[in-house]
Amino acid sequence: MTLDMSIFGFEFMQRAFISALAVGLCAPAVGVFLVQKRLALIGDGLGHIALTGVAIGFLTGGAPLWTTLATTVAASVVMELLRSHSKTSGDVALAMMFYGGIAGGVYLTGIASDKGVANLQQYLFGSLLTAGWDEVVTIAVGGAAVALLMLVLRPWMSAIATDEQYARVAGLPVAGLNLMLLMTTAVVVSVSMRAVGLLLVSALLVIPVVTVQQFTRSFRATMYGGMAAGFLIAGAGVLASAVQDVPPGATIVLIGVACFVATATAAAVVRRVRRTWRRHPPPEGEPLEVELPAGPVDGPQAAPKG
Amino acid sequence: MPVIATYDATVSYGGRAVVRGVDLAVEPGEAVALMGANGSGKSTLVKAVVGLAPLAAGGIELFGVPQRRFRNWKRVGYVPQRTGAASGVPATAAEVVAQGRLAHRFLGLPPNRSDRAAVTRSLDEVGLADHAHCAVDTLSGGQQQRVLIARALATEPDVLIMDEPTVGVDAATQAALAEVVAARVDAGCAVLLVTHELGPLTDRLDRAVVLADGRVVHDGAPPRPVGEHADPRHQHAHPHANGDSDDFWGGK
């Protein structure tokens, strides 16, 4: 198959390519901490809330980008307060975001009836090919700011994501850093969802990170590797979709999922091989804490208990 | 001025008092064990000392400052109970130990030479210098515990607070840990150690405080093993078949 580069003669194609690459590079920089905190679905949750923000934009005549940003940031603050100050568990809070966000979006667009729900769908799946240059700039600037912040704060962010209790005792500003993590997620979701779609942006937060972590040993390598993988997956997705004339968002996500399945399978095979050949010094054996019965044991009781 | 002081400290979970009116003082350079059976409230008391469990009544002071207003956390090295679950994103031993330096670093600035030196030295002290760049979840349980202790040592603390550091750890590692902790005590660092068993670590202690049902029942010389426990060949076996322990490691 030869790749026809003439598609890049179209300006809409250039815009789509740049937007996808920017989101692919920046989203995993935030996503690595979300995966570590077991909040992989939070991007999707904030994306649902963002639908309500878009509808508020329709209703008030304000620019959807800013109403979306305000709504998702506010939601992330409420989410963090719920998580830290009440007995609401993370997944319950997430469920409320999913249901409430969608319902709010549909309800409010219903009130602003001239726009219609069809317009909302554009945000759900994105329309990479209709993005204007100003949107590309917003994505690039917002993404770069978020990625830079996460790169600079990586040791602190990874400390609160790995072991929040230890981070508290180490005197780190845990509440502030947690809030910042959710707010940067909100920024990534809201600046990029109009162009690349809610489905795609939340997938790009998570998939590149879980793909590279099959092979990495350090947090730093996972973060940089995730950003590189996101960049490559997004780029490959746009190219493939242009060749086949299919929606780019879905193509990018499918390529990402395929990469994850492939690396997860390969990693399982490699782990099996490494069991006989290890790169690092093997852990010294820990003595059994139970006394094994001496001599041959007959019957089914030979199976170890506990 | 004691390093750690609790006055009539009471901690309750859901209305049930787990720690009841405990007075505890750890002087600078003193090594104290907090002992007791599972459920006696020893871990809860330590969590209250470091601010992870709220006090229902009484007071706690760290270095003479009320705990709620205490901000100088780089003087405290905390070793939490090791949880069996592997974390999501991999991290190397050096990265985990480097977390111990974050209290010294200014938010957003890269580590300086003394930060890096402290990480290397701490890993060396616990005998994991060769494993600095191994992913923590590929290490054995005893090695993971040593990583957590190295993280606390990297803080260069004036008090080391360790919650059950010997649970699920082999005898060789226990002996190595005892050496490391003894070296810190000799250098003037105070130690508060939560444990429910006697071992190499408890041999170096100045004092033991024994809790039962949330109250202090003994405060003085560390208890000595008696009977068959005193036999060096004694296998300290924990048959977990009765199902009364909460997790894989037999801890709580």
The answer to whether B93 touches B138, Cβ cutoff 8 Å, is: no
**Phi and psi for B200 in degrees, rounded to 5?**
-55, -35
Contact B95 A36 (CB under 8 A): no
CA torsion angle B88 B93 B96 B98 (round to 10): -150
* Per-residue pLDDT at B99 exceeds 60: yes
DSSP codes of every residue in A268-293: HHHHHHHTTS-SSPPPPPPPPSSPPP
**Of residues B96, B100, B134, nearest to A280 (C-beta):** B134
Partner residues linked to B31 by β-bridges: B191
* Per-residue pLDDT at B252 exceeds 80: no
Contact B102 A172 (CB under 8 A): yes
Q: Encode pLDDT of A253-290 as tens digits.
A: 999 999 999 999 998 898 888 776 655 555 555 444 55
User: B200 pLDDT band (50/70/90 cuts)?
Assistant: confident
Q: Encode pLDDT of A20-51 as tens digits.
A: 999 999 999 999 999 998 888 888 888 888 88
**Residue B154 CA from chain centroid, whole number:** 14
Lowest mean pLDDT among A9-13, A14-18, A159-163: A9-13
Mean pLDDT across chain A = 82
**Burial classification of residue B228, based on how many CB atoms lie within 10 Å of its CB (0-12 exposed, 13-18 middle, 19 or more buried):** exposed
Closest Cα of chain A to B220: distance in Å?
Answer: 28
The DSSP call for residue B112 is -
Residue A193 to residue A201: CA distance in whole angstroms: 7
Q: Give CA angle at B66 (B3, B201), nearest 5°.
A: 30
Q: Encode pLDDT of B122-180 as tens digits.
A: 999 888 899 989 988 888 888 888 899 999 999 999 999 998 888 777 777 888 888 88
pLDDT in the model for residue B82: 77
pLDDT in the model for residue B78: 92
Whole-model pTM: value is 0.83
Contact A286 B140 (CB under 8 A): yes
Task: Determine the residue of chain B that is closest to A290 in CA distance.
Answer: B237
CB pairs under 8 A between A and B: 129
pLDDT in the model for residue B232: 55
The answer to whether B29 touches B190, Cβ cutoff 8 Å, is: yes
ipTM value for the complex: 0.83
Tokens of A80: 């963090």
Contact B102 A222 (CB under 8 A): no
- Chain A neighbors of B228, CB-CB under 8 A: none
Tokens of B78: 């905390």
Residues of A with CB under 8 A from a CB of B: 32, 35-36, 38, 152-153, 155-156, 158-159, 161-163, 165-173, 209, 213, 216-220, 222, 280-281, 283-287, 289-291, 305-306
Residue B212 to residue A81: CA distance in whole angstroms: 36
* Per-residue pLDDT at A136 exceeds 70: yes
Residue B95 parent element (H or E) = helix B93-98
Average pLDDT over residues A288-301: 48
Residue A201 to residue A180: CA distance in whole angstroms: 18
Helical spans, DSSP H, in chain A: 11-36, 42-60, 64-85, 90-111, 117-125, 133-152, 154-162, 164-169, 174-196, 198-212, 219-244, 248-274
